[in-house]
Amino acid sequence: MERPNTIEVEKLVREFKKGPRAVDGIDLRVEPGEIYGFLGPNGAGKSTTVLMLTTLLPPTAGTARVAGYDVVHEGPSVRATIGAALQEAALDGLLTGREHLRLQATLQALPRPERRSRADELLERVGLMEAADRKVKGYSGGMKRRLDLALALVHRPRVLFLDEPTTGLDPQSRSALWTEVGRLAREDGVTVFLTTQYLEEADVLADRVGIIDHGHIVAEGTPAELKAQVGRPTVEALPPDPRIADVLAHFGDPVPSAKGVAVRLAGNADLAAIVRALDAEQLQVENLQLHQPSLDDVFLAKTGRSLEGAGDEEEAPAGLAMQPAA
Amino acid sequence: MSNLPDEVYALARRSVVRTSRMPAQWIAPLIFPTMLLAVNSGGLKAVTHLPGFPTTSYVAFALAVPFIQGALFATMNAGTELARDIQTGFLNRLALTPLRSAALLAGHLGGVVALGFVQACFYLAVGLVVGVRPAAGVAGVVVLLVFAALIALAFGALGTWAALRTGSGESVQSLFPVFFVFLFLSSMAIPRNLIQQTWFRDVATANPVSYLLECVRSLIITGWNGEALGLGFGIVFAMGVAALALSAHALPRRLAR
């Protein structure tokens, strides 16, 4: 019987010689067909976790099972089940896109007659058919990322690891990649483990999000759940008129605002009711905005820092030659 | 059914395709040894008048040198290419497939051997054009090409081992001068028995590169010489086995899977 496409991690640790604990006892579980967003700044431990889950780096302690297989003791079975696009799109600039796919299809032991058709199918799917016979060194960053994704999909993996797949991409390429990843999970039932440092990416794409900082998971849940933990939305109005502040105060508790006046909405208060109240008082409002709590607010609440610009530490080195500390 | 032959072929093909798309990788190993052959043949022609020199054609004598120089280039190419794969993460991509370690080594070295074979054919063709006729005949030419392929394999495996140990193309390239010292301290320019300096003769006698040269030289100049062939093939076999064993030992640590 086929094992479920789950990812189960218990107390996973990775230490490097003369370095900190890059991953410090994390627990997580990803359900079949789920997109799990692993969010954190540079150096938080995201890539190290991916390297362990893809069997490329042995854990120092703890256990991890991917699709029911232990990453330490059943490495070949794990690798047969997963696809991975790691942080750097490791492509050979002198080969063409089609040559990459054929090589990958051979190494993934696809039957010979299927190799050509699978390569064409994936080139079509990621929109690289026209560039298929061009050397990869002439590809844009977005094209390389799409080829990387296609390579990860050659053998129809049940679990897909994407390590910062949209870093450095333009908005159009990013959106195209999101669409494809979403389709993989929805239509093909692929479980996706996606690391990112982009709040929007985690918010839009992930069914559930784990926020990692300094090797610890500091929050986990659906984006809506996490935002709900932070609190209700805020409404901010310009200009900073005391009469506007008085009206807003009927709808929630005042919160600091750099440019105007703001309140955190209470109960069932909504924007339409505020607009009606301001209109009834005949107050001139230049700007009225509803701010939903963001994942950055969640990160700020959990770590005391903003995720934007929090990644000033070095990512744990991902080289394969490094040895466990003990 | 085992996918091993397909894996080896696919990786060897990649190696050959890569090399063919980098002209500097295959032009230099063809041109530079040939130029050195031309310079040496012109400048050292008088050496053939020394009593006991085995041939009247210095080109025939020196033709063995490009075969060894070509092997040195094979070492560098094999090592730097693999180091590049390590540095770019391409080896990680390969490590995530069911690829066998043996297939990775065989495929990688298969491309190196193919290039070594092409180089050997080129050097041989240059020799034939300038009038060298291998004394061992057509069968000798076949043995010579096999020997050249084995040299490329052995030296290529050494480069592969260096790349796996260091993971750095620069470190692999730093071996090049070391190997060249071995070449210059051998019987490259003159037969060992005609070297006047005792220390140089002793060093050349202890230097395994001398026996590789003498194996090639015997097929070109003297015909079938069991001792020279035995020593040449024995040394290249031992080198190859040792280098492959070292590479096979280092590969799992580098793949770390």
Q: Let me know if residue A323 belongs to a domain.
A: no
Helix (H) or strand (E) holding A193, with range, is strand A191-196
Q: Which of B7, B88, B256 lies nearest to residue A106, judging by beta carbons?
A: B7
Closest CA to B216 of B27, B39, B33, B31: B33
Domain match, A222 and A165 both: yes
At residue A185, the pLDDT reads 93
Q: Max CA-CA distance within chain A?
A: 76
C-beta of residue A22 within 8 angstroms of C-beta of residue A12: no
Q: Let me know if residue A47 belongs to a domain.
A: yes
- Three-state secondary-structure class, residue B195: coil
Cβ under 8 Å to A: B residues 46-75:
none
At residue B2, the pLDDT reads 61
CA–CA min distance A62, chain B (Å) = 17
Q: Let me know if residue A111 belongs to a domain.
A: no
Helix (H) or strand (E) holding A184, with range, is helix A171-188
Domain match, A179 and A78 both: yes
Residue of chain A whose Cα is closest to the Cα of B13: A103
Percent of chain B with pLDDT over 70: 98
Q: Which amino acid is at B39?
A: V
* Domain of B183, in residue numbers: 4-255
Cβ of residue A326 closer than 8 Å to a chain B Cβ: no
CA–CA min distance B29, chain A (Å) = 20
Alpha-carbon Rg for chain A in angstroms: 23
CA–CA min distance A7, chain B (Å) = 17
Mutate to test the interface with B, among A320, A322, A323 (most CBs of B within 10 A): A320
Set of chain B residues whose Cβ sits within 8 Å of the Cβ of A90: 88-90, 92-93
**Cα B77 from chain centre:** 11
Cβ of residue A103 closer than 8 Å to a chain B Cβ: yes
Sign of CA dihedral B45, B49, B50, B52: positive
Residue of chain B whose Cα is closest to the Cα of A110: B3
At residue A74, the pLDDT reads 94
Set of chain A residues whose Cβ sits within 8 Å of the Cβ of B94: 107
At residue A312, the pLDDT reads 45
Closest CA to B154 of B67, B53, B95, B26: B67
At residue A310, the pLDDT reads 54
- Domains: count for chain B: 1
Residue of chain B whose Cα is closest to the Cα of A135: B21
At residue A314, the pLDDT reads 38
Query: Distance between CA atoms of A294 and A307, rounded to whole angstroms?
Result: 11
**Cα A176 from chain centre:** 15
Q: Let me know if residue A319 belongs to a domain.
A: no
| DSSP structure string for A31-83 | -TT-EEEEE--TTSSHHHHHHHHTTSS--SEEEEEETTEETTT-HHHHHHHEE
Domain match, A249 and A221 both: no
Structure tokens at A163: 């390590």
Name residue A39's beta-bridge partners: A196, A211
CA–CA min distance A17, chain B (Å) = 16
Residue of chain A whose Cα is closest to the Cα of B88: A90
Closest CA to B243 of B122, B134, B154, B123: B154
Assembly ipTM? 0.85
Cβ of residue A102 closer than 8 Å to a chain B Cβ: yes
pLDDT digits 0-9 by tens, A300-310: 777 777 776 55
In this complex, do A107 and B14 lie within 8 Å of one another by their Cβ atoms? Answer: no
> What is the domain-level CATH number for residue A42?
3.40.50.300
- Three-state secondary-structure class, residue A262: strand
Strand arrangement of the beta sheet that strand A191-196 belongs to: A82-85, A159-163, A191-196, A35-39, A208-213, A216-221
Domain match, A144 and A288 both: no
Segments of chain A scoring below 70 in pLDDT:
1, 308-326
> What is the domain-level CATH number for residue A272?
3.30.70
Q: Which of B17, B97, B167 lies nearest to residue A321, judging by beta carbons?
A: B167
pLDDT digits 0-9 by tens, B143-188: 999 999 999 999 999 999 999 999 988 888 888 888 889 999 999 9
Query: Distance between CA atoms of A56 and B254, rounded to whole angstroms?
Result: 10
Residues 6 or more apart whose CB falls under 8 angstroms from that of A143 comprise A97, A128, A131
Q: Which amino acid is at B231?
A: L
Domain match, A143 and A286 both: no
Structure tokens at A181: 């990843």
Q: How many CB atoms lie within 10 A of CB B83?
A: 25
Query: Distance between CA atoms of A235 and A278, rounded to whole angstroms?
Result: 13
Domain match, A159 and A85 both: yes
In this complex, do B90 and A90 lie within 8 Å of one another by their Cβ atoms? Answer: yes
Q: Max CA-CA distance within chain B?
A: 62
Between the CA of residue A118 and those of A80, A189, B231, what are the distances in Å? 17, 19, 51
Domain match, A147 and A198 both: yes
Domain match, A222 and A248 both: no
* Burial per residue of A74-91, b for 16 or more beta-carbon CB atoms within 10 angstroms, e otherwise: bbebbbbbbbbbbbbbbb
Sign of CA dihedral A220, A194, B100, B90: negative
Query: Distance between CA atoms of A301 and A305, rounded to whole angstroms?
Result: 8
pLDDT at B68 over 70: yes
Query: Distance between CA atoms of B96 and B48, rounded to whole angstroms?
Result: 58
pLDDT digits 0-9 by tens, B93-114: 999 998 888 889 999 999 889 8
Set of chain A residues whose Cβ sits within 8 Å of the Cβ of B257: 55-56, 75, 79
Closest CA to B160 of B235, B242, B220: B242
Owner of token pair 């590169």? B209
CA–CA min distance A107, chain B (Å) = 6
Mutate to test the interface with A, among B11, B88, B93 (most CBs of A within 10 A): B93
Cβ of residue B20 closer than 8 Å to a chain A Cβ: no
Domain match, A281 and A152 both: no
Owner of token pair 């084995």? B150
- pTM score, two decimals? 0.82
CA–CA min distance B160, chain A (Å) = 16
Enter the DSSP assignment of A4. P
pLDDT digits 0-9 by tens, A271-294: 888 999 999 999 889 999 888 888
Closest CA to A194 of A237, A162, A159, A228: A162
- Domains: count for chain A: 2
In this complex, do A82 and B96 lie within 8 Å of one another by their Cβ atoms? Answer: yes
Closest CA to A207 of A218, A197, A193: A193
At residue A246, the pLDDT reads 92
Cβ of residue B95 closer than 8 Å to a chain A Cβ: yes
Question: Terminus-to-terminus CA distance in chain B, angstroms?
Answer: 23
Residue of chain B whose Cα is closest to the Cα of A102: B10
Structure tokens at A172: 């159009």
Set of chain B residues whose Cβ sits within 8 Å of the Cβ of A104: 93, 97
Looking at mean pLDDT, say which of A16-25, B231-240, B248-257 comes out highest.
B231-240
Structure tokens at B91: 């080896």
Q: How many CB atoms lie within 10 A of CB A141?
A: 14
Query: Distance between CA atoms of B174 and A139, rounded to whole angstroms?
Result: 32
Sign of CA dihedral A130, A136, A140, A144: positive
Query: Distance between CA atoms of A93 and A90, rounded to whole angstroms?
Result: 9
Domain match, A69 and A163 both: yes
Domain match, A258 and A169 both: no
**A258's torsion region: left (phi>0), alpha (psi -120 to 50) or beta?**
alpha
Cβ of residue B96 closer than 8 Å to a chain A Cβ: yes
* Domain of A155, in residue numbers: 7-91+139-227
At residue A324, the pLDDT reads 34
**Averaged confidence pLDDT in chain B:** 91
Cβ of residue A320 closer than 8 Å to a chain B Cβ: yes
Domain match, A86 and A147 both: yes
Cβ of residue A321 closer than 8 Å to a chain B Cβ: yes
Closest CA to B10 of A228, A180, A163, A109: A109
**Cα A165 from chain centre:** 8
Query: Distance between CA atoms of A135 and A131, rounded to whole angstroms?
Result: 8
Cβ of residue B253 closer than 8 Å to a chain A Cβ: yes
Q: Which amino acid is at B247?
A: S
